Structure 1
């Protein structure tokens, strides 16, 4: 079991541009032996970063989940060098797992673009959608859970469910919950009967936010970017459920299909606190589209991730619009 997020996405070179993960991907926010997609995504980003020179910086990573990865075996990472110029580098990365019959099954496909750092002609970024307290005035998940138990009578069973489902984040990341957010008020949808201060808003106006930083020191640029992919993926697929007083058990299927990670600054340090805000944008025909944005303490937007996810009705349930 990996002890840090850097270990979780670490790779060992088997031969040029081919790697194997040091650890099997871990589970979070899903059932059975299906792994958390952020593990696969972070591993793929790490593989892409290994293949470029240090003066190239990741600015775009577009990917597709081809199938779930399993937690009982390591992943293989194959890097294809698509483009190398004085300014840009492009990599196509395939993640696969070896099956019991010896064949490799593709799990994930990534297209990563890198650029040499350039001076800005313009410098601007959108702020968060609302004003949030500084990290020192935001509670931990333990404090949030204790408050929900004492103020709303939340049962130990559901508190323990939240701890278990999101244990991986707790192992790798320090988090502080912005109390105005939906996630902080209904425990990411687990406490679905609790009304939030955003209930009067439409689902596309609702937001959740938290402060995050790595619990363990990230050293290299590849570790920073891999960790960024890992944390930005967290919870996006079920934001629409939590914002509509539902959780994973209410859906027939809920998981990420594809994503676009945009990185706006070349220097990223997730050893320091960053503010992350999540919202959902649209949902129809069994899919949803949501976004997570990240700012540093100076208010500069560091990254954005959009995701389209599957959201299926349980069998035998009719749609309500």
Structure 2
């Protein structure tokens, strides 16, 4: 499988126009994290390095074709003294498949500070490498992420928070060492953040047969981090209904620092043909 650096290495084809690569895939549609990561790296190429991305808001408009490149068109919406805004449209065959707004904040601003406490969780070393415990069908799905070590905390080892409808915790990291480039780690986390989050909505319904797809994705980057070190993805799904589920995630590093927050709504449609049912291992 390609490295994350290869996936994020978009090609400049004209002013504010970039093209992503095509990579082998067993999925019916392009993985949403890949589209989001390539869109974000395209936006950063139009921004002064004294500004760092702090948020993104994206909509998955059409399924991406895995055998064709996506072209990313960047609009320079605003260049201010403290904030910069970019809009990116991902296009295949003349049709928009993804739309994203990204905001960048001047590096060095100061203000009040606080954060939630990291929830209790077994350490990643106490969990098996899921790559060795999957069924053949699940292994085929997760082969898309073989460069990532993803370990879902089993239900019998989860310390639940009372009153929450659906909960899941996942440790994940990139398996190989990455360069000391925070921008690369930010775009890598944008890719990783789509992994397993929608699966948190399935935890109260383990036997449900559903068709799933990401509909929109919002993310806030709060503190520096490394994606080649373990990160805890604390996931909840506060509501599901009408064929959609709302999911939320808080991402912590091993020291307990909250480094990012994610909100996503996804399709969770029931009564679908068997060949459209999503395969999940505790989450997807």
Q: Same fold (TM over 0.5)?
A: yes
The equivalent residue for 2:65 is: 70
Residue 217 (structure 2) pairs with residue 259 (structure 1): yes
The equivalent residue for 1:225 is: 186
The equivalent residue for 2:202 is: 241
* 1:39 maps to which of 34, 39, 53: 34
RMSD: 2.5
Q: Which moved more, 1:159-168 or 1:63-72?
A: 159-168
Q: CA deviation at 1:172?
A: 1.9
| Partners of 1:269 and 1:307 in 2: CA distance | 22
The equivalent residue for 1:90 is: 85
Distance 1:292 1:62, change over 3 A: same
Distance 1:215 1:209, change over 3 A: same
Larger helix proportion of the pair = 1
TM-score under structure 2 length normalisation: 0.87
Larger strand proportion of the pair = 2
Deviations 1:268-290 (A, max 9, x none): 32122211122111112221100
Q: CA deviation at 1:221?
A: 3.4
Q: Is the 8 A contact 1:48 1:91 kept in 2?
A: yes
Q: How does 1:23-172 map to 2 (within 5 A)?
A: 23-24=22-23, 26-28=25-27, 33-98=28-93, 104-128=94-118, 130-142=119-131, 145=133, 159-169=135-145, 171-172=146-147
Q: CA deviation at 1:202?
A: 8.5
Q: Is the 8 A contact 1:24 1:75 kept in 2?
A: no
Ranges of 4+ aligned residues in structure 1 off by more than 6 Å: 200-203
Q: CA deviation at 1:119?
A: 4.4
Partner SS for 1:281: strand
The equivalent residue for 1:319 is: none
| Partners of 1:292 and 1:125 in 2: CA distance | 14
Larger Cα-atom Rg: 1
Q: How does 1:173-252 map to 2 (within 5 A)?
A: 173-178=148-153, 181-182=154-155, 204-219=164-179, 220-246=181-207, 250-251=209-210
Q: Is the 8 A contact 1:25 1:69 kept in 2?
A: no
Deviations 1:173-193 (A, max 9, x none): 123443xx44xxxxxxxxxxx
Tell me, which stretches of 5 or more residues in structure 2 are unaligned? 274-284
* 1:281 maps to which of 221, 229, 238: 238
The equivalent residue for 2:249 is: 292
Deviations 1:234-288 (A, max 9, x none): 12223222431136xx12x3111111111112x2321222111221111122211
The equivalent residue for 1:192 is: none
Tell me, which stretches of 5 or more residues in structure 1 are unaligned? 99-103, 146-157, 183-195, 317-321
